[in-house]
A and B are shown apart, each in its own frame.
Chain A
Amino acid sequence: MREKILKAIEKNSRIDLKELAVMLGEEEIDVVNEIAAMEAEGVICGYHTLIDWEKTSIEKVSALIEVRVTPQRGQGFDTIAERIYKYPEVNSVYLISGGYDLLVSLEGKSLKEVSNFVSDKLSTLDTVLSTATHFILKKYKDHGTVLAKKYVDERLKMTP
Chain B
Amino acid sequence: MRNALSDKITTIKPSGIRKFFDIVSEMDDAISLGVGEPDFDTPWHIRDEGIYSLEKGKTFYTSNAGLKELRQEICNYYGRKQGVIYDPLRETLVTVGGSEGIDLALRCMLNPGDEVIIPTPCYVSYEPCTIMADGVPVILPLKNENQFRLTPEELESAITEKTKILILAFPNNPTGAIMEKEDLEKIAAIIEKHDIYVISDEIYSELSYKSKHVSICSIPGMRERTIVINGFSKAYAMTGWRLGYVLGPELIVKQMIKLHQFAIMCAPTTSQYAAIEALKNGDDDVAEMTEAYNQRRRFLMNEFKEMNLPCFEPFGAFYVFPCIKEFGMTSEEFALKFLEEEKVAVVPGTAFGDCGEGFLRISYAYSIEDLKVAIGRLRKFVEKLRNEK
Binding site for B on A (CB under 8 A): 4, 8, 19, 22-25, 153, 155-160
Contacts and interface: CB of A to CB of B under 8 A. Distances in A.
A158 B24 contact: yes
B21 interface: yes
Interface string B118-146: 00000110000000000000000000000
A153 B30 CA distance: 13
B129 to A, nearest CB: 13
B201 to A, nearest CB: 13
Interface stretch (B108-116, B157-165, B294-302): B294-302
- A-B pairs, top 4 by smallest CB distance, nearest first, are A158-B34, A23-B295, A157-B32, A159-B36
A23 B39 contact: no
A158 to B, nearest CB: 4
A157 B32 CA distance: 6
A24 B298 contact: yes
A23 B299 contact: yes
A158 B21 contact: yes
Nearest to A24: B295
A157 B352 CA distance: 17
Contacts of B39: 153, 155
Nearest to A25: B298
9 contacts: A23-B296, A24-B295, A156-B21, A158-B24, A158-B35, A159-B17, A160-B36, A160-B124, A160-B351
Interface in B73-130: 123-124
B6 interface: no
Interface string B323-367: 000000000000000000000010100011000000000000000
B15 interface: yes
A19 B36 CA distance: 25
Contact of A160 (B17, B25, B296): B17
B35 A157 contact: yes
Most chain B Cβ neighbours within 10 Å, of A4, A25, A157: A157
B172 to A, nearest CB: 13
Contacts of B383: none
Given A23-B299, A24-B295, A156-B21, 9 more contacts: A22-B299, A157-B21, A157-B24, A158-B21, A158-B24, A158-B34, A160-B123, A160-B351, A160-B352
Interface of B: 15, 17, 20-21, 24-25, 30, 32, 34-37, 39, 123-124, 173, 291, 295-296, 298-299, 302, 345, 347, 351-352, 368
A158 B20 contact: yes
A103 to B, nearest CB: 25
A49 B258 CA distance: 59
Contacts of A159: 17, 21, 34-37
Contacts of B35: 155-159
Contact of A155 (B30, B37, B124, B296): B37
Nearest to B21: A158
Contact of A19 (B20, B30, B123, B299): B299
Most chain A Cβ neighbours within 10 Å, of B32, B39, B173: B32
Given A23-B299, A24-B295, A157 B345 contact: yes
B302 A22 contact: yes
A4 B35 CA distance: 27
A43 to B, nearest CB: 20
Contacts of A157: 21, 24-25, 30, 32, 34-35, 345
Contacts of B368: 23
A30 to B, nearest CB: 15
Given A4-B291, A23-B296, A24-B295, A158 B345 contact: yes
A11 to B, nearest CB: 10
Contacts of B351: 160
A23 B369 CA distance: 13
Contacts of A25: 298
B298 A160 contact: no
Contacts of A155: 35, 37, 39
Contacts of B34: 157-159
Contact of A158 (B298, B302, B347, B352): B347
Contacts of B17: 158-160
Nearest to A15: B368
A157 B33 CA distance: 8
Given A157-B21, A158-B32, A158-B34, A23 B298 contact: yes
Nearest to B38: A155
Contacts of B21: 156-159
A8 B291 CA distance: 11
Nearest to B31: A157
Contacts of B123: 160
